[in-house]
A and B are shown apart, each in its own frame.
Chain A
Amino acid sequence: MFRRERSIPLRGSAAALCNNLSVLQLPSCNLTHFGVVHGPSAQLLSAAPEGVPLAQRQLHAKEGAGVSPPLITQIHWCVLPFRVLLVLTSQRGIQMYESDGSVMVYWHALDAGDASLVQAVFARGIAASGHYVCVGTWAGRVLVFDIPTKGPNIVLSEELARHQTPITDIATEPAQGQDCVADTVTADDSGLLCVWRSGPKFKLLTQIPGFGVPCSSVQLWQGTIAAGYGNGQVRLYEASTGTIHVQINAHARAICALDLAPEVGKLLSAAEDTFIHIWKLSRSPEGGYIEVEHCHGECMPDTQLCGARFCDPSGSSFAVTGYDLAEILRFSSM
């Protein structure tokens, strides 16, 4: 069903982090941008459809006090109504760039002031929600930045303080009109999910408790939350109520990434067990509840995966990164 396409070589191998691949599709110029974290540096590259790399750039975490160069925890493109920002989180803070990574437009230093000595300080978890960019921290805070249509006048608008453990991932989907409809989900190391409605003041709609393992990756599609956990499970919840609807024993090791193809409701899961799986989400005609069907599985031999993304909104192609692997693996459907 899927064939292996030409890999894209990376300057540096991918680090063993979760959600370690960001993809920006630019259909207008037939280019795809990829972003991968190596460690103290991250690599951006753009490729033509056949996978030939055209341009590449390396970004570094801004230095600060500490014994060794700070590590980058995540890199992610945020598509906002009037612009695209590239956001980079590290052990020191949050860096925001224009989408090609050429100009840094904003820097936010993390306040490690109230870190007790036993806690690691870092930012992690990046998502765009309307004209806001949400970024998580080690303390469980979610920083909400208000982004102007252009220019560097970015302002920290709110700090959401619901989580008690480090944020792992944030998922959003376009607002659906009504005031109480969820459009943002935040996840943390304890597995707790918080469901929000974005706005000048974010409103907490519901919470879904964890069960002893981190929720490493989360997605939101048509009111359904898809969450990937450290024990290899994927769970689907109704966002408005927090009720669980599907539980998949999907992988034999921790899930490292989830992605969604919104046009068709396809979900991609990747884990440290070397497998990716593609699932089809739908609503049952009888009860209207969420259903899942397994579509495809692929094994990347001897590769502990760390990132995975669909490369187009219809889910007909995807890309994968693995720990210690200095290339992006690509697949497209036949």
Chain B
Amino acid sequence: MSIRTLPLLFLNLGGEMLYILDQRLRAQNIPGDKARKDEWTEVDRKRVMNDIISTMFNQKFMEELFKPQELYSKKALRTVYDRLAHASIMRLNQASMDKLYDLMTMAFKYQVLLCPRPKDVLLVTLNHLDAIKGLIQDSPTILHQVDETFRQLTDIYGGLSAGEFQLIRQTLLIFFQDLHIRVSIFLKDKVQNSNGRFVLPVSGPVPWGTEVPGLIRTFNHKGEEVKKTEFKHGGSYVAAPKEGSLELYGDRVLKLGTNMYSANRPVETHMSAASKNLASRTQESIVPNPLAKEELNLLARLIGGMEMQKPSGPEPGFRLNLFTTDEEEEQAALTRPEELSYEVINIQATQDQLANDELARIMGEFEITDQSRRNASKGDDWLAMMDEL
């Protein structure tokens, strides 16, 4: 609903993606002098992170992103991240990309849900930006790009009212509705229950601007306080210590949005297929959306702003596996429940339908990572292909 939601969604999901990729690349790190030709080194890792981050914070791309607009569908957004993840020499199989996206979305859903105030989603975003800057300390040009985005963010969101942030929060939660994928690191830390629901604590500091519950104050018609009583609220809250800073450098206070992964905490996901809300979800995707084409045009404009670093010369793409072994990755691809498969937009089919030359050119720059999805028949209804289940 709020047309200011997309930049926050994109930057936070992007931040989580970088945390995960960085952790996996470090875990698969081989010291430079000992590495074989097909193994990851520290230099490779830094290069991948630099490539992805500079693509993400490209000025033209950010301009498109920050335009007031409705949120994209899950399909469209997933396509953007597919593209982003392949902005460098790194390659991900479908199963690994699916797992990556699961982790990203569940992490940000958790952060939004647990934000004490709706405005705190801005602090979560700044936490992600702070961490991103830490990943590219050696690259002043990219650092500058990130700082620019920081300024844009605080310019636009710094002045929004509490009501507007409440609408943004509701828009984000509607986007994440019915996602209950269990994430091992969340289960271990007891922030997620075994049914996939997040734990909502009833203790700790209250949000900035909220009083600790428990007091009833009564006033007379002159405005004088005449009575003060207490009631038992049920939780055990304390006052908020201080407000998080929105400055370029500052104490954000909030920990949500900081990097929770480390080399010692590998991440697994369990496919939670037993979702009661499956019926409503599949029903909605069957309802034809005659306006998907408009969304595709928006998407093309957005991705058209991405400057992709194409791997040049004989350099091969390095494959990153988000699972522990190749066999596990294969197994995950085979056993992923149908209802949890992400629908990536079939680029070839839509390219044929796009009359606009410029858009067709931009779409043509895409590489389809999953060849099996390519349907050659031009006469088919492209909407039907996109909605195939």
Contact = CB atoms under 8 A, between A and B. Distances in A.
B163 A189 contact: yes
Chain B's interface size range is 35 or more
Interface stretch (A146-154, A199-207, A243-251): A243-251
A326 B214 CA distance: 31
Contact of B177 (A238, A275, A323): A323
B210 A231 contact: yes
Contact of A66 (B70, B178, B202): B70
Interface stretch (A27-35, A103-111, A118-126, A313-321): A118-126
Nearest to A250: B213
Contacts of A241: 221
A304 B113 contact: yes
Contacts of A277: 231, 233
The SS class assigned to the B binding surface is loop
Contacts of B216: 246-249, 292, 294
Contact of B220 (A273, A287, A297): A287
B170 to A, nearest CB: 5
B79 interface: no
Interface stretch (A8-16, A93-101, A177-185, A260-268): A8-16
A87 interface: no
Contacts of B173: 15-16, 323
Contact of A302 (B69, B116, B162, B193): B193
Given A38-B280, A252-B213, A13 B220 contact: no
A249 B73 contact: no
Given A213-B162, A297-B232, A326-B276, A69 B289 contact: yes
A244 B219 CA distance: 7
B371 interface: no
Interface string A184-199: 0000111000000000
Interface centre among A65, A233, A252, A277 (most CB of B within 10 A): A252
Which of B199, B200, B279 has the most A CB atoms < 10 Å from its CB?
B200
A232 B73 contact: no
Contact of A251 (B72, B113, B213): B213
Contacts of B197: 302, 324
A302 B177 CA distance: 15
B80 interface: no
Nearest to A118: B68
B61 interface: no
Contacts of B291: 65-68
B161 A190 contact: yes
Interface stretch (B1-9, B100-108, B248-256, B379-387): B1-9
Contacts of A275: 202, 233-235
Interface of B: 1-4, 68-73, 113, 116, 118, 161-164, 166-167, 169-170, 173-174, 177-178, 180, 193, 197-200, 202, 206-207, 209-221, 223, 226-227, 231-235, 237, 276-277, 279-280, 284, 287, 289, 291, 294-295, 298
Q: Which 6 A-B pairs have the closest CB atoms?
A: A189-B163, A294-B231, A16-B173, A12-B280, A249-B211, A214-B163
